[in-house]
Amino acid sequence: MCLRSLIVLVLITAVCGGSLAPLYTAQEPIPNRYLLKVKNEYVFSDLVDDLLAENERNAQTAPGFGHIDILNEMDGTYLKILYVDLDYKSLDTVRKHPAVEFVEEEDGRPITSDDNADLDEFDLSGIDTAGKRDHSKRFTQEDFELNQGAFYGLDRINQRELEPDQNLTFAGNGFGVNIYLVSTGVLQTHEDFDCRVRMAYDVMSKTGEDCSGSGTNAAGIAAGKSVGVAKAAMVHSVRVHDCNNTESTNRHVSAIHWVANNLAKPCVVMLTISINSGGKTLQTAAESLVDAGCVVVVKAAPIRQTYGKKACDYSPGRSHRLITVGATYQNDGKTLWSGDGICVDIFAPGNNLMTTSPMDDGYYDKISSPNLSAAFVAGVAAIHLGNKVDAADVKHRILSDSTPCVVGNELLGAPNRLLYVDPGQS
Ligand SMILES: [Ca+2]
């Protein structure tokens, strides 16, 4: 083919918009619902105008056919997403638009961050209590003393050896650092938070109340004054799960969009969501928070579906730009229910730990959850940020500080690193 013909072909292709943006499918798609990732360099409103005009044309030429309804506009500096309802006639039109980077079907699966459900199949060894809440008890000082083992996480991460030394101190407290917890809400008034939890945003326009537990449990480990790591950090609760634990990708992306547009730095974002198959938009959204200057922490995989599963199969944890956390027992072994494989960045305690309960102000839960492992890392990230480590360097700092070669059990390619933070002066 001569050069001139080639140029003409390229021009025709460009003018006709011949290439289709990738379409990512969902396991259980909601009919007609799509998330459109808009290229960051494109003027968002221009795309909206084009789609509205196309919808108008279709309404006039073929009523009831080819509709495009815009349901949610997320136009941010680092993330531009449109949530739309459209029929198949308009799908290719949308995919051909030069502003559209990719299209993903909205997933209708019930997805949940509540990892504390009934999980009898994991309770195999007698030490694995995943999903068994020693539920919501008002612990007395005596209870705390009798349950020192439930604080093994705090004790373990500030020392290299397995044998606990009862020292739970850290070189820093995360003062001035903002932890955004995108989850089920947080019991703001709990005594262990010392007024450091703020109801930042509720995607469902409710009160931000935690009716599930994952959020309050994770907030305790990340920032509780007695059960947590960053004892002076602020927690901004962003609620995305309703009380039935139903949710949608759109809702999560909306929450992430809100965080990106409202964040105060320095910032750590912890997401308790983790979905298998698909999740391209969710992963892109989570990565946009790194672009915005935050450290982003997620669990390796959800507890219910994890047995035998790789972290790489889950979004957003498969992203190498986030910190993806696997879970260990008190003996440093990887838990049966932890995600593993090469997409894990680090391991942290996650089994049978004491943390704040959503039930009432003075109540505590003794639970197991991969969200708790991620919360330990979020707390340590907050300590580093509070100690003026640059956000862009925090992941490297956490990985290089980690204790190597102590995590037991088959890791299936995951790096053998256990979370470590300096104990400081005790
Ligand atoms: Ca210790």
Task: Note the pLDDT of residue 161.
Answer: 97
Task: Note the pLDDT of residue 377.
Answer: 98
- Cα(382) to centroid of ligand 1, in Å? 19
67 is written with which tokens?
């509709």
Judge contact between 134 and 354, C-beta under 8 A: no
Query: How many Å apart are CA 157 and CA 327, to the nearest integer?
Result: 13
- Cα(150) to centroid of ligand 1, in Å? 13
Domain boundary among 56, 73, 107: 107
104 is written with which tokens?
């993903």
- Cα(154) to centroid of ligand 1, in Å? 7
CATH number at residue 169: 3.40.50.200
Model pLDDT for residues 182-217, shown as the tens digit of each residue? 999 999 999 999 999 999 999 988 888 898 889 999
Residues near ion ligand 1 (Cβ under 5 Å): 155, 158-159, 165, 167
* Residues 218 and 337 grouped into a single domain: yes
Evaluate whether residue 299 is within a structural domain.
yes
- Cα(170) to centroid of ligand 1, in Å? 9
CA-to-CA dists, residue 5 to 16, 17, 19, angstroms: 16, 18, 19
- Cα(14) to centroid of ligand 1, in Å? 62
* Residues 166 and 101 grouped into a single domain: no
- Cα(156) to centroid of ligand 1, in Å? 5
Task: Note the pLDDT of residue 307.
Answer: 63
Evaluate whether residue 113 is within a structural domain.
no
Four-CA torsion 314, 318, 323, 324, nearest 10 degrees: 40
- Cα(166) to centroid of ligand 1, in Å? 5
Task: Note the pLDDT of residue 304.
Answer: 64
Four-CA torsion 281, 284, 288, 289, nearest 10 degrees: 80
- Cα(236) to centroid of ligand 1, in Å? 28
- Cα(385) to centroid of ligand 1, in Å? 21
Residues in the chain: 426
Evaluate whether residue 161 is within a structural domain.
yes
Instruction: With CA atoms as reference, report the closest residue to 19 among 79, 106, 101.
Output: 101
Q: Is the pLDDT of residue 279 over 70?
A: yes
Evaluate whether residue 304 is within a structural domain.
yes
Task: Note the pLDDT of residue 111.
Answer: 57
Domain boundary among 79, 107, 135: 107
Evaluate whether residue 426 is within a structural domain.
no
* Residues 92 and 152 grouped into a single domain: no
Evaluate whether residue 242 is within a structural domain.
yes
Confidence of residue 276 (pLDDT cuts 50, 70, 90): confident
Confidence of residue 278 (pLDDT cuts 50, 70, 90): confident
Average pLDDT over residues 12-25: 71
- Cα(351) to centroid of ligand 1, in Å? 17
* Residues 73 and 153 grouped into a single domain: no
Average pLDDT over residues 286-300: 97
* Residues 24 and 150 grouped into a single domain: no
- Cα(381) to centroid of ligand 1, in Å? 18
Evaluate whether residue 423 is within a structural domain.
no
Q: Is the pLDDT of residue 117 over 50?
A: no
* Residues 101 and 172 grouped into a single domain: no
Task: Note the pLDDT of residue 148.
Answer: 78
- Cα(332) to centroid of ligand 1, in Å? 14
CA-to-CA dists, residue 359 to 135, 151, 204, 350, angstroms: 9, 20, 21, 21
Which element (helix H / strand E) includes 201?
A: strand 197-202
Task: Note the pLDDT of residue 163.
Answer: 95
Domain boundary among 58, 85, 107: 107
* Residues 124 and 225 grouped into a single domain: yes
* Residues 368 and 295 grouped into a single domain: yes
Q: Is the pLDDT of residue 82 over 90?
A: yes
How many distinct structural domains can be found in the chain?
2
Q: Which residue has the tokens 């009380």?
A: 243
Task: Note the pLDDT of residue 127.
Answer: 36
Taking the model in full, what pTM does it have? 0.91
3-state DSSP assignment of residue 145: helix
Evaluate whether residue 4 is within a structural domain.
no
Average pLDDT over residues 80-96: 95
Instruction: Provide the H-helix boundaries in 186-291.
Output: 214-223, 249-262, 280-291
- Cα(167) to centroid of ligand 1, in Å? 4
Judge contact between 233 and 179, C-beta under 8 A: yes
Task: Note the pLDDT of residue 122.
Answer: 36
Instruction: With CA atoms as reference, report the closest residue to 371 among 386, 389, 356, 360.
Output: 356
* Residues 276 and 216 grouped into a single domain: yes
3-state DSSP assignment of residue 299: strand
* Residues 154 and 99 grouped into a single domain: no
Q: Is the pLDDT of residue 150 over 70?
A: yes
CATH number at residue 98: 3.30.70.80
Q: What is the DSSP string of 225-248?
A: TTT-S-TT-EEEEEE---TT----
Model pLDDT for residues 227-246, shown as the tens digit of each residue? 999 999 999 999 998 777 66
Q: Is the pLDDT of residue 109 over 80?
A: no
CB under 8 Å to 268, separation ≥6 — which residues? 177, 178, 179, 180, 222, 233, 294, 295, 296, 297, 378, 381, 382, 385
3-state DSSP assignment of residue 302: coil
Judge contact between 337 and 303, C-beta under 8 A: yes
Full residue range of the structural domain in which residue 216 is found: 120-418
Q: Is the pLDDT of residue 25 over 50?
A: yes
- Cα(110) to centroid of ligand 1, in Å? 39
* Residues 229 and 294 grouped into a single domain: yes
Task: Note the pLDDT of residue 10.
Answer: 42
137 vs 216, higher pLDDT: 216
Average pLDDT over residues 269-276: 89
Instruction: With CA atoms as reference, report the closest residue to 195 among 240, 150, 228, 233.
Output: 233
